[in-house]
Amino acid sequence: MQIDIRLVPVYEKPFEKQFPRLADLLRRTGRQELVEKETSFYEMADALEMIAESPDTPSGIREAVSPHEQKIMAIKEIARDHLLARRLNEMDRELYRMEDAFEDLEASL
């Protein structure tokens, strides 16, 4: 027997319309597949970390993304701990915090 827990993104509007600046950033950094398949914020956090830490990322983008990336990755770690402990209500709360952090990133771009 196997327990399967999945994070399925549910956007009120298509991701690209709800987060146009973030979608543009992902495309400019070669991650258009994340936009096309409407990846969850939980999964997208790793791509954001790679953008923030890559020496190939232009410094202006890195400076804009880095503070948000650090906050998002900290939230992801907390959410992951809740997932592993099967505290799904707490995990859900952290995922909403992550969504808020991505909205803050969108506003700052």
**Span 42-74, pLDDT tens digits:** 999 999 999 999 999 999 999 999 999 999 999
Looking at residue 100, its pLDDT comes to 97
Buried (b) or exposed (e) across 92-102, using 16+ Cβ within 10 A?
A: eebbebbbebb
pLDDT of 85 strictly over 90:
yes
Question: What is the rounded distance in angstroms from the CA atom of residue 108 to the CA atom of residue 54?
Answer: 20
Looking at residue 7, its pLDDT comes to 77
Q: What is the domain count for the chain?
A: 1
Looking at residue 8, its pLDDT comes to 79
Question: What is the rounded distance in angstroms from the CA atom of residue 21 to the CA atom of residue 8?
Answer: 22
The label of the residue with tokens 């914020």 reads 41
Q: Is residue 6 part of a domain?
A: no
> Computed over its alpha carbons, how large is the radius of gyration of the chain?
14
Q: Is residue 9 part of a domain?
A: no
pLDDT of 9 strictly over 90:
no
Q: Is residue 5 part of a domain?
A: no
Question: What is the rounded distance in angstroms from the CA atom of residue 65 to the CA atom of residue 2?
Answer: 38
**C-alpha angle 63-49-107 in degrees, rounded to nearest 5:** 55
19 confidence band (pLDDT: 50, 70, 90): very high
Which domain range does residue 45 map to? Answer: 15-108
Q: Is residue 82 part of a domain?
A: yes
pTM of structure: 0.90
Q: Is residue 103 part of a domain?
A: yes
Mean pLDDT of the chain: 93
Q: Is residue 89 part of a domain?
A: yes
Question: What is the rounded distance in angstroms from the CA atom of residue 106 to the CA atom of residue 72?
Answer: 13
Q: Is residue 10 part of a domain?
A: no
Q: Is residue 7 part of a domain?
A: no
